[in-house]
Amino acid sequence: MIRIGPAGWKYKDWEGVVYPKPKPRGFDELEYLSQYFDAIEINTSYYGAPRPAAAANWVRSIGGNQRFKFSAKLFHSFTHERKPAPNDEKEFKDGIAPLVESEKLGALLVQFPWSFKSSPENREYLIDLQKRFREYPLVVEVRHSSWLDEQILDLLSELGVGICNIDQPLFHRSVKPAAHVTASVGYVRLHGRNYKQWFSKDADVRERYDHLYSLDELHPWLTRAKQIAEDTTDTYVVTNNHYIGKAVVNALEIASILKREPVPVPPPLLDSYPELREFSR
């Protein structure tokens, strides 16, 4: 099973591009997207524990698609500051409980920054984090190549922790494209290749993800996704180049190519990206 979808769904710049504008009364963005995708990555959980009521609403929104599953990013106090408050763990677990209880949580993504390098101390921290969240299907995203050592990959396998294969602008000791598998869950995350904005201290966070993958850029990742899927139960391919709906465009292209057939496309998206017509059912 390869599940494909974008990272997030609440973006102002998707209105009139991915979503209709004006939106009909009672319009539910998540329900709308679940008609086109089998997965979406929850990125708001990186900024704080979801409210249980909100998570329960998410489950209801995607009820029309039985194949659908979420992945969710772990709260940044565990991954970036690495100094979680005493109640952070309980609040986070309570927040995602509706996803777990409904069997709609496919992966919990533990995303570390480039500055998190492999060291005895950091490896111990990762092992401790696995112990704290072992009840979930964990996937770790590291961005520094010091982690891509056979012994560390073996350690992740022993821990049952998946590894996220990422596409990103490359610089000194960045993690390069790969097809690693260390658990029953496989993960691919495409961040875009906006070199100019990615490293700019003045760039708006949205601009860092302003990149539309060409088909030539996507094809190696399609090969990797199929390779990963051969050794996993579930594989997630997440497009994080969300600026002005580009993540949705590339996710639909990936889905169409992998399925070898046209796919449904949100009508407003065809007006903004007419190149999608060759993939549209």
pLDDT at 208: 77
Q: Chain-wide mean pLDDT for the chain?
A: 95
Is 70 exceeded by the pLDDT of residue 202? no
Could you tell me if 71 and 65 are in contact, meaning their C-beta atoms sit under 8 angstroms apart?
no
C-beta of residue 156 within 8 angstroms of C-beta of residue 123: no
CA–CA–CA angle 230, 190, 187 (5° rounding): 35
CATH number at residue 204: 3.20.20.410
* pLDDT band at residue 230 using 50, 70 and 90 as cut-offs: very high
Amino acid at position 191, single letter:
H
Q: Is 41 helix (H, G, I), strand (E, B) or coil?
A: strand
pLDDT at 76: 97
Domains identified in the chain, total number? 1
Q: How large is the average pLDDT for residues 200-225?
A: 86
CA distance 198 to 147: 22
Q: For position 203, what pLDDT does the model report?
A: 64
Q: Are 269 and 237 in contact (CB under 8 A)?
A: no
Give the helix, strand, coil percentages of the chain, each rounded to 5. Answer: 40, 20, 40
Is the pLDDT score of 249 beyond 70? yes
In this prediction, residue 32 has a pLDDT band, given cuts at 50, 70 and 90, of very high
Domain that holds residue 131: 2-279
Q: How confident is residue 198, by pLDDT bands cut at 50, 70 and 90?
A: low
Tell me the mean pLDDT in the region 273-279: 96
Query: What are the backbone dihedrals phi and psi of residue 127, each rounded to the nearest 5 degrees, phi first?
Result: -65, -40
pLDDT band at 150 (very low <50, low <70, confident <90, very high): very high
pLDDT tier at 281, thresholds 50, 70, 90: confident
Give residue 229's pLDDT: 98
State pLDDT tens for residues 93-149. 999 999 999 999 999 999 999 999 999 999 999 999 999 999 999 999 999 999 999
Q: What angle do CA 200, 202, 203 make, to 5 degrees?
A: 70
Q: Could you tell me what percent of the chain has a pLDDT over 90?
A: 90
Mean pLDDT along residues 59-79: 97
Which amino acid is residue 149, in one-letter code?
D
* Residue 181: predicted pLDDT: 98
> Which of the four pLDDT bands, split at 50, 70 and 90, describes residue 197?
low
- Smallest CA-to-CA distance from 215 within 140, 273, 145 is with 273
Tokens of 181: 């598998």
Residues shown for the chain: 281
pTM above 0.85, yes or no: yes
Supply the pLDDT for residue 172. 80
Is the CB of residue 214 less than 8 Å from the CB of residue 168? no
| pLDDT tens, position by position, 83-97 | 999 999 999 999 999
Q: How far is CA 214 from CA 8, 220, 240, 253, in A?
A: 21, 11, 15, 10
Average pLDDT of span 176-191: 97
- For residue 44, what are the contacts with CB-CB under 8 A and spacing of at least 6? 8, 10, 50
Residues 153-179, mean pLDDT to the nearest whole number: 93
Q: How far apart are CA 106 and CA 68, in angstroms?
A: 9
* Sheet arrangement for strand 2-6: 2-6, 234-239, 185-190, 162-167, 138-141, 105-111, 69-73, 39-42
194 vs 171: CA distance, rounded Å: 12
192 versus 225: which is more confidently predicted? 225
- E-strand ranges in 134-269 read 138-141, 162-167, 185-190, 234-239
Q: Is the pLDDT of residue 260 over 70?
A: yes
